[in-house]
Amino acid sequence: QKEVEQNSGPLSVPEGAIASLNCTYSDRGSQSFFWYRQYSGKSPELIMFIYSNGDKEDGRFTAQLNKASQYVSLLIRDSQPSDSATYLCAVYPGGYQKVTFGTGTKLQVIP
Amino acid sequence: EPEVTQTPSHQVTQMGQEVILRCVPISNHLYFYWYRQILGQKVEFLVSFYNNEISEKSEIFDDQFSVERPDGSNFTLKIRSTKLEDSAMYFCASSYRPSGGSTDTQYFGPGTRLTVL
């Protein structure tokens, strides 16, 4: 059973701070990793994907991947109240296998 | 910007009835998916579909479920005899290739909220 683990939160950060969201996965052979943002009652919206070890930056978002530790994270700089949502980590093992989602971390940005 | 669309946005049905949830994937995408999310729980994979056949399905996707691409644009999920526990948000997603690699990912539709009474 391939597992994707996230702390359910809520993670509370003040406006303007850095929010750090973490995810671990069990399948060492996993190839690609996605971060989705999900507002309550809405569908998941892609934030970032990453497939190489290291950091990938896109605006205020940075994804970090460490395959040796089976760990992927998302940093949100200058957090805004509009960033308040549940962040889903999703892992793709490769080939024609399914993407597995974590349970999500609820982020609350306090004004 | 191209997007995945789903209809209806909310479906209410009686237990034992058949429902069909509809999706229009992004037009040049080749891989199609259904997920569900029970309220407060995680997104769960149901089925993937490529080249007019199922690529993979989860243990949730039993004989009560079926998928079809009846024409060049629609992708449907049918639940033959709904149960109370089928109440969930159902998301359709599509990708150009199987998810993974540098350019492709699954894009989600807005979802259909299914309520089984």
User: Does the beta-carbon distance from B43 to A49 stay under 8 Å?
Assistant: no
Q: Which positions in chain B touch A101 (Cβ < 8 Å)?
A: 35, 42-45
Mean pLDDT, residues A49-78 taken together: 95
| Chain A interface includes B109 (CB < 8 A) | yes
Distance between CA A96 and CA B67 in Å, rounded?
17
Q: Which of A111, A109, A94 has the alpha carbon at shortest distance from A37? A: A109
Query: Mean pLDDT of residues grouped by 10 in chain B (117 residues)?
Result: 91 97 93 92 91 91 94 93 96 80 74 96
At B100 the pLDDT is 55
User: Does the beta-carbon distance from A101 to B42 stay under 8 Å?
Assistant: yes
- Give the gap in angstroms from C-alpha A16 to the nearest C-alpha of chain B: 28
Q: Which of A25, A43, A23 has the alpha carbon at shortest distance from A35? A: A23
Residues with Cβ within 8 Å of A101's Cβ and at least 6 positions away in sequence, in order, are: A4, A36, A88, A89, A90, B35, B42, B43, B44, B45
At A110 the pLDDT is 96
Q: Which of A83, A67, A55 has the alpha carbon at shortest distance from A30? A: A67
User: Does the beta-carbon distance from B99 to A34 stay under 8 Å?
Assistant: yes
Percent of chain A at pLDDT exceeding 70 = 96
Residues with Cβ within 8 Å of B58's Cβ and at least 6 positions away in sequence, in order, are: A98, B44, B45, B46, B47
For residue B92, the chain A residue with the least C-alpha distance is: A43
| Chain A interface includes B60 (CB < 8 A) | no
Contact call for residues B94 and B107 (beta carbons, < 8 A): yes
Radius of gyration, CA atoms only, chain B: 14
Q: Which positions in chain B touch A104 (Cβ < 8 Å)?
A: 42
Percent of chain B at pLDDT exceeding 70 = 94
* Half-sphere exposure for B112 (CA within 13 Å, toward CB): 26
* 3-class secondary structure, B103: coil
For residue B41, the chain A residue with the least C-alpha distance is: A103
Confidence of residue A34 (pLDDT cuts 50, 70, 90): very high
User: Does the beta-carbon distance from B41 to A94 stay under 8 Å?
Assistant: no
Burial B23-36 (b: 16+ CB within 10 A, else e): bbbbeebebbbbbb
User: Does the beta-carbon distance from B43 to A44 stay under 8 Å?
Assistant: yes
Tokens of B90: 């159902």
Contact call for residues B76 and B33 (beta carbons, < 8 A): no
User: Does the beta-carbon distance from A96 to B101 stay under 8 Å?
Assistant: no
| Chain B interface includes A97 (CB < 8 A) | yes
B8-33 pLDDT per residue, tens: 999 999 999 999 999 999 988 888 99
* Half-sphere exposure for B93 (CA within 13 Å, toward CB): 29
